[in-house]
A = this chain, B = another copy of it.
Amino acid sequence: MSTKKVGTQTAVLANPPSFAGHANVVGKKEGEGPLAETFDYIAEDDTFGESTWEKSESAMQKQALSLALDKAGQPASNLDWLFAGDLLNQCIGSSYAARGQGIPFFGLYGACSTMGEGLALASMTLDGGFGEWAGVVVSSHFCSAERQYRNPLEYGGQRTPTAQWTVTGSGAVVLAREGPGPYITHVTVGKIVDKGIKDANNMGAAMAPAACDTLEAHFQDTGRTPKDYDLIVTGDLGSLGSELLLELLRRDGIQMSNHADCGMLIFDPQTQDVHCGGSGCGCSASVLTGHFLNGMRAGRWQNILFCPTGALHSPTASFQGESIPGICHAIAISTKKGK
Contacting pair B109 A91 (CB below 8 A): yes
Q: Which of A124-132, A230-238, A280-288 contacts B (4 or more CB under 8 A)?
A: A124-132
How many whole Å from A50's CB to the nearest CB in chain B?
10
Contacting pair A128 B131 (CB below 8 A): no
A258 contacts the other chain (Cβ, under 8 Å)?
A: no
Q: Using A5-B80, A90-B111, A124-B124 as known contacts, list a sample of 13 further A-B pairs with CB atoms less than 8 Å apart, ordered by residue number in A.
A: A1-B15, A4-B128, A51-B320, A52-B320, A89-B90, A92-B314, A96-B325, A105-B189, A105-B192, A107-B108, A121-B125, A124-B128, A128-B128
Of the residues B51, B89, B106, contact of A316 by C-beta under 8 Å: B89
Contacting pair B131 A96 (CB below 8 A): no
Contacting pair A108 B105 (CB below 8 A): no
Bound-state Cα–Cα, A1 to B253, Å: 42
A3 contacts the other chain (Cβ, under 8 Å)?
A: yes
Bound-state Cα–Cα, A327 to B87, Å: 20
Contacting pair A129 B4 (CB below 8 A): yes
A-B CB proximity, top 8 nearest: A128-B128, A95-B312, A104-B189, A90-B314, A89-B89, A107-B109, A5-B131, A4-B129
1/0 contact string of A179-212 vs chain B (CB within 8 Å): 0000000000111101000000000000000000
